[in-house]
Chain A
Amino acid sequence: MDSQSKSGSGNGFSILSVAIRISIVFMIICGILYPLASTGAAQLLFPHQANGSLLKDSSSEVTGSELIGQSFTDPGFFQGRVSSIDHNAAGSGSNNFAPSNPALIERTKASIEEWKANNPEVPVDQVPIALITNSGSGLDPHITPKSASVQIPRISKVTGLSQAELETLVKEHIEGRDLGLFGEERVNVLKLNLALSAKLGK
């Protein structure tokens, strides 16, 4: 390093001039060229993923994204987690209830009452906490395997499919931990319900 800091880029005017030009250059490189080149390469190499991993139903109509949860109100379907935004993926998020917020306890108690009414066969102490809590995104596409299996008696009663058949269906849809190590075992609710609906010939 030399010591001539007073010359060249050392005076105020030339600093400002370089600052303006460097800003423009990097706005173009980082703000325009980089995202557009990324989009081009992504669309070319991985079009399915780049466009939202969309799922089609049996009549090959787009019925959603495998990554975005949907609301299921029909008791004959497996239901996903609580979503304060009702799985409207134009937005995302939850109502951010702190553990000490009474509204959280009230909401959970209401979910428990609803469970008792709709699933008289399965006692509340079997219900996993993940099923009746709000996901962070409000769009969680997954439930835990146990959250799926506790819903089997209800679905069997409504649809007429045997519990054994449903258990096989759930088992087929369990996704393992990534690389056998990371994250949790999970079931994609939309995929499971698509398979269920195909089985029922809906």
Chain B
Amino acid sequence: MDILQMLVVIAVLVLLVKPLGTYVYHVFSNEQNRLDKVYGGTEQFIYRLIGLKRREGMSWKVYALSFIATNIVLVAFSYLILRLQNALPFNPNAIGSMEPTLTFNTVISFMTNTNLQHYSGESSLSYFSQMAVIIMMMFTSAATGFSAAIAFVRGITSKGKTIGNFFEDFVKAHTRIFLPISFIFTLVLVALQVPQTLDPTLTVKTLEGAMQQIAIGPVASLESIKHLGTNGGGFFGANSAHPFENPSPLTNVIEILCMWALPAALPYTFGLYAKNKKQGWVIFSAMMCLFLVFLSVAYTSEKVGSPAMNTLGIDASQGSMEGKEVRFGIAQSALFTTVTAAATTGTVNNMHDTLTPLGGLVPLAEMMLNVVFGGKGVGLINMLMYAILAVFICGLMVGRTPEFLGRKIEPREMKLIAIAILAHPFIILVPTAIAFMTDLGQGAISNPGFHGISQVLYEYTSAAANNGSGFEGLGDNTPFWNISTGLVMLFGRYISIIAMLAVAGSLVRKQPVPETIGTFRTDNALYTGLLIGTVLLIGALTFLPVIVLGPVAEYLTLR
């Protein structure tokens, strides 16, 4: 039953890829289509409101500038709201102003689609902040990432000087994808018992006569965009393990598919842009192969459980249940964990800190690779970055100028890709080392031994991959952690997006090379294997030593 229920979810996902990928293509292809009738009017109205007169294409520099400017403005507004939330409306629980470094961390976290949370929603945010900052940024950061991915795909698949208009992409991502789908799923989740109210925290008299407080709020409207936008920040501290955020296995499956479907459909969209659907399926297959390996490890490891618990004489046949919920059991927990780390959502339905050593290694490794489906848009960009690297390495081996989709890959592109690939381990490993060298960093560790190393490593990996889940025992609401992870999230988000937009800007201007018999094909099984190999090779070379110090050492010493 466990295996079957996981396979059914995966099968539904695969069925969604083609229709959803086609839909996304029609949204952004800027060709006339039926959707214009439905959404055109609203969009024209928004274009007028924002003063966007002509929607001509932008060079990559203007595109990057536009999305950075928009993000900066959103960050500024949000910072003010969180600092002033005590004086703003919709604050029935009388929550005070947020501390400056925590506010810095929170706004960066949500703008970068990370949703690392150093606060607990129940006690630190007013309903107004939950809506106007958290929910708002869940939409806008997802739309930003999505737009960047589409612009990148346009750059590597078309010929011209421009990669699209950021503001138009940003508006369409909202009106045609995120807003309508979120609204529908909000109502579905409410029907399945997720609360949606503006009433304050309830107080009830329990069956045994004690008083119980129950935090509540506009949960469902956050829950749907949290997954759809691969954001992951919970309304409550316990995130999707909280019964109000995720009341049943059915909502669990819906949340899994919501966060997984769009990242999984993007490779198909890419195939449509490249006018070669097989090219899209190659990228999808590489992602899915890696995913299945990770899922198998997570499930097996949690099912076997921890030897330290299994030898206490209890009936431990169910598997490792510490930090998990009974309604989900092992299968729905392992699947959720593998998907949340793959899609870099960062929502959790079980506490990752309590996972068995190898079970905990799964999300960690997925975030280190950062290409197994990946977050809204960014995962596809990263995978294509590796795709170009793979043709480059193969080109070197056979002594030919590497080409990808009919474009020559030259030093300028490779330098930019090298920067993007090296930045990721750099912003994980250097801050981790700094944290270990200082009392400020070490003081936050809550679990002794090798697991403490994993806690710190996980925090920075999650920040760099813009995932946002945590080994939550870590006492991370201090200025040191708020500022250091805030900076890591910033670099993790913008370095790779800007570098890859630059690659797109450079490729879009190149004269396509005609395909010949000697062209190295990038749409077959051999290339899929090479791509997976490249991803694993780079990942292993950069991260293996530190993984051995953390999860592997814990696994080997756990008795």
Give the B-binding residues of A (Cβ under 8 A): 1-5, 7-10, 12, 14-27, 29-32, 34-39, 41-43, 45-46, 49-54, 57, 61-65, 67-74, 77, 81, 87-102, 104-105, 108-109, 112, 124-130, 132-144, 146, 177-179, 181-184, 186, 190, 193-194, 197
Contacts and interface: CB of A to CB of B under 8 A. Distances in A.
15 contacts: A2-B57, A9-B62, A26-B140, A31-B135, A42-B197, A46-B187, A51-B216, A64-B206, A73-B208, A88-B213, A98-B554, A100-B557, A126-B315, A130-B326, A183-B250
A193 B50 contact: no
Contacts of A124: 313-314
Nearest to B61: A5
B526 interface: no
A177 B210 CA distance: 32
A126 B322 CA distance: 18
A21 B46 CA distance: 10
A2 B321 contact: no
Interface residues of B, number: 140
B193 interface: yes
A36 B127 CA distance: 11
A96 B238 CA distance: 11
Interface string B441-461: 000001111110010000000
B434 to A, nearest CB: 23
Interface stretch (B13-21, B259-267, B347-355, B480-488): B347-355
A27 B315 contact: no
B96 interface: no
Nearest to A147: B326
A128 B207 contact: no
Contacts of B472: 93, 96
A95 to B, nearest CB: 7
B208 A71 contact: yes
Nearest to B350: A136
7 smallest A-B Cβ distances: which pairs?
A: A183-B249, A31-B136, A96-B473, A136-B241, A31-B132, A99-B306, A92-B238
B314 A127 contact: yes
Among the interface residues A67, A72, A124, which one has the most CB atoms of the partner chain B within 10 A? Answer: A67
A139 B326 CA distance: 11
A146 B315 CA distance: 10
Given A3-B162, A38-B221, A96 B213 contact: no
Interface secondary structure of A, over-half rule: mixed
Contacts of B305: 129
B243 interface: yes
Contacts of A183: 5, 248-250, 252, 327-329, 332
A16 B446 CA distance: 45
Among the interface residues B120, B353, B454, which one has the most CB atoms of the partner chain A within 10 A? Answer: B353
B379 interface: no
A45 B189 CA distance: 12
B550 to A, nearest CB: 11
Nearest to B69: A19
B5 A9 contact: no
B350 A142 contact: no
B408 interface: no
Interface of B: 1, 4-5, 8, 30, 46, 49-59, 62, 65-66, 69-70, 72-74, 77, 120, 122-123, 131-133, 135-136, 138-140, 154, 158, 160-165, 167, 170-171, 174, 179, 182-183, 186-187, 190-199, 201-202, 204-208, 210, 212-216, 218, 220-222, 225, 236-238, 241-244, 247-250, 252-253, 305-306, 308-309, 312-329, 332, 348-351, 353-357, 446-451, 454, 471-473, 554, 557-558
Contacts of A109: 312
A21 B1 CA distance: 52
A46 B237 contact: no
Contact of B249 (A94, A140, A182, A194): A182
A9 B136 CA distance: 24
Contact of A102 (B210, B216, B448): B448
B168 to A, nearest CB: 9
Contact of B242 (A5, A19, A35, A92): A92
B252 A182 contact: yes
A34 B171 CA distance: 15
Contact of A177 (B195, B249, B315): B249
A116 to B, nearest CB: 10
A38 B185 CA distance: 10
